[in-house]
Amino acid sequence: MAKNLKPSARGELEITDINRIYMEQGRLSVAMMGRGYAWLDTGTHQSLIEASNFIATIEERQGLKFPVRKEIAYRKRFIDAEQVKVLAEPLKKNAYGQYLLKMIKGY
């Protein structure tokens, strides 16, 4: 589907064009994003910088990292604390590994 798209006036492929095609085919479904979700357009250099700053602010102020696939898997109970520990052990010297180890301790 995307390979048949033509760039917009901005010279970019637009997600709204894909959405329109799905809608025309009757294959579009919508899920409302709840509180805590954010859609960040990163189609320009400036918007990419703004999105990066937003992520950095959340991480600094709330002590969260994202996206952390291992955290998601743990919280959805696809993996347990012991599995997280095994995955985090080789990374324990960096912030990501420390975050995972802290997470399974309940901090």
Q: Which residues contact 90 (CB under 8 A, 6 or more apart)?
A: 97
Per-residue model confidence (pLDDT) at position 107: 61
> CB-hemisphere CA count at 13 Å for 42?
11
What pTM was estimated for this model as a whole?
0.60
Beta-carbon contacts of residue 75 (< 8 Å; ≥ 6 apart):
none
Three state DSSP letters for 10-35? CCCCCHHHHHHHHHHCCCCCCCCCCC
What pLDDT does residue 75 have?
A: 92
* Ranges of the chain with pLDDT below 70: 107
Angle at 30 between CA 24 and CA 33, to 5 degrees: 150
Q: What is the pLDDT of residues 44-53, one digit of tens each?
A: 899 999 999 9
